[in-house]
Amino acid sequence: MAPKSKNNTAVSAYIASHFGLTDHLLDLDTSDPAQGYTLTEAFADIAKENLAANSVGYNRAAEILAKTQWFQKHGVQVTQRLGQERSKSGAFKEAVANNLVDIKAQANTAGFDLTDEQAQEIARDSFVFGNAYNSNKIMERIASTGQLTGGQAMNTADALKAHGANMGVSYDDSWYTDAARSIAQDKSTADDWKRQINDVAKSRYAAFADQIDKGLTVAQAASPYIQSMSQILELPATSIKLTDPSINKALTNLDADSKPALQPIWQFETSLRKDPRWASTKNARDTVDSTARKILSDFGLVS
């Protein structure tokens, strides 16, 4: 408890004005006495020493408080602001309200939807803990608690999903949103996640793994096959995906020595003409008509 002598009353007033700390705030310090020096122990020692109400006594009180786990961790500013919060001061409420506007704007730009309670909690903590809550820390809180709804984070998720599609690799939506959260929290970069996608692509499409390292996408490697398939089966090129069995087989082909090798285009096109879909194309009808005319011509039945 706070000292009762005149000297200690003056020292207590000094502590309150310079450190924002009174005995009514001692319960803020929940640290284990076995692990270090607590505020309660510091107040008891200050009372026990009956410090003089002068610069020597005040400096000694400050010296004692500086040894506590609390002040080593939080410092004076945090203590003062927590005191303001306890007293329900108008200055505290105004500062948090100002922070709240900034927090909501930052969350909206980043693409995260916070509940009023979540936004209020982050606004309060960013004011109380001051410099310890830099923009990265605030963004970490926003991204870890808010719901991803759009903005920069959703753009990041969509960009990674598009890269995955170009590399013939897909994950469920949660993988992309988790990646976007991590990037927003500055825990990783988009390149980190792209490398993961590329590593999977290299293991799946081993025939051109080295080219992937040099920037080639699976979609680019597949382009000649997609164009051939589009022409032979008379399909829109945009409707042919890397996951199509024929395309996938061509890209994951093995040579005679069971080593990864792209399927030769002529072999790929030959296999397409065995596809049941080919029979209903104009290509197939023209081929049949051409073959029939040749046979009739060979027999001299047509000129």
Q: What is the per-residue pLDDT for 3?
A: 44
CA angle (192, 193, 196) in 5-degree steps: 95
Residue with tokens 């948090």: 96
Token pair of 273 as six digits? 């003409």
**DSSP letter for each residue of 144-191:** HHSEE-SHHHHHHHHHHHHHHHHTT----HHHHHHHHHHHHTTSS-HH
Q: What is the per-residue pLDDT for 132?
A: 73
Q: Taking every pair of C-alpha atoms in the chain, what is the biggest distance, in angstroms?
A: 131
pLDDT beneath 70: ranges in the chain: 1-7, 286-303
From CA 129, how far away is CA 140, in angstroms rounded? 15
pTM of the model: 0.73
Partnered with residue 147 across adjacent β-strands are 113
The values of phi and psi at residue 113, to 5°, are: -100, 115
Q: What is the per-residue pLDDT for 130?
A: 86
Q: What is the per-residue pLDDT for 136?
A: 86
